[in-house]
Structure 1
Amino acid sequence: MTWTVWIDGWQMQCCGADFVPGDLVSWTLLEVEPEDYADIVGGERADEIDFREEHHGQEEGHTPTSVEVVSIAAVHCRYEVSPGASDKVSHPVPGSTVLVPVEKADGRADPRTGVRFAGYLVTVRRTAEVP
C-alpha cells in the first residue's frame, strides 16, 4: 500500500532533511483536507493526498511513522494577489500547477519560468522498521 504525502517547500528549506527514492524516513504524518491543496496541485491530485508531513514540533497524539520513499515530484505553481484583495497576499492560481519528477528533495527545486516552487508530492510505502 502506498500513500501520497505533501511536504511544504518552506519546511524543507527551513530545516528538512534531504531524501531520495529508496530512503527510509520517520515522519510525523497528519491527515489532510484535500480541498486545502486543490489550488496548489489541482483538484484531482489533491484528492490523492493522504497526509502532510509536519516536523516543526510534535503534534499531540501523533508519533512518527516509518516509511520508504518511492517517488518524488516537485510542485510549482503561479502565485498572484487576488483581484480586489486589500491584504496584498499572494495565493496559488488554480490551474497553474507544474509537476516535475525529481530524484532528490532538498528544498531547492530548479526554477521554472512563470511559477514558484511550492512543495513536494511524495509517494511512500509504510515500513515496519524505524530508520
Structure 2
Amino acid sequence: MALMRVFYEDWQMECCGTPFTVGDEVGWRLVTMDRDHVREGGWEEERQKYGGVSWVENHGGPPHETTGLVRSIDLVHQEYAEPSPGALTFEPVAGTRSLTPVDSCPKWFEQEETRTESGLRRARRTAGVLVTLDVPGAPPPEPRDRP
C-alpha cells in the first residue's frame, strides 16, 4: 500500500459527501494534480498549496472510484481578504494557511468574517480537509509528497 494526500473541498463534502473518520475505508472519484491543473490564481493552485496530490471530485472526474483506508485527517484553514472596499470577492492571504488534526471529517464547515481597521472584510474559513489515504496498488509517494 502507498500513502496518498487527498484534498476534499468543503463544498464537495457539504453538497454530496458523506463524513468519514480515521480508520474508515472510503471510495472517492479522485482527480490527480498535474501541471495542467495548476493555473495561476485558480482554485487548483490552492488545492496544490494545501499539499494534496489529488482531490475529490463528486461532480465529474473519472468514472471509477479509488478505494483506500483513511490514515489521518487535517482541517485546512485559510484566511481571505477583500482586495478593495466593497469588492464582491475575497483573495487568499499568503502565509495564513493552517492545519488542525481531527479524527472525523465534518459535514459542514465554518467561516468567520471580521472587519479590519481599514474597513476591509476578512474571513477565516475551513476550506476542507487534507486526508492521508492508504491506497493499495498506488504508486509510491514522490519526494515532494508529504504523507
Superposition TM-score tier, normalisation by shorter sequence: 0.7 to 0.9
Q: Distance in 2 between matches of 1:70 and 1:26?
A: 14
Residues 1:94 and 1:105: Cα distance change in structure 2 (over 3 Å) = same
Q: Is the 8 A contact 1:40 1:92 kept in 2?
A: no
Task: Output one character per residue of 1:42-100: Cα deviation in whole Å (capped at 9) or x when no partner.
Answer: x5xx4x421001112x42x541111110000001111112248x853112211111211
Q: Distance in 2 between matches of 1:102 and 1:124?
A: 14
Residues 1:40 and 1:105: Cα distance change in structure 2 (over 3 Å) = same
| 1:39 positional shift | 5.0
Gapped regions of structure 2 (runs ≥ 5):
114-122, 138-147
Residues 1:118 and 1:50: Cα distance change in structure 2 (over 3 Å) = same
Q: What SS is found at the alignment partner of 2:58?
A: coil
Identity of aligned residues (%): 28
Match of 2:73 in 1: 72
Q: Distance in 1 between matches of 2:4 and 2:130?
A: 10
Larger Rg: 2
Residues 1:40 and 1:94: Cα distance change in structure 2 (over 3 Å) = farther
Residues 1:112 and 1:89: Cα distance change in structure 2 (over 3 Å) = closer
Taking structure 2 as the reference length, what is the TM-score of the superposition? 0.68
CA RMSD of aligned residues (A): 2.9
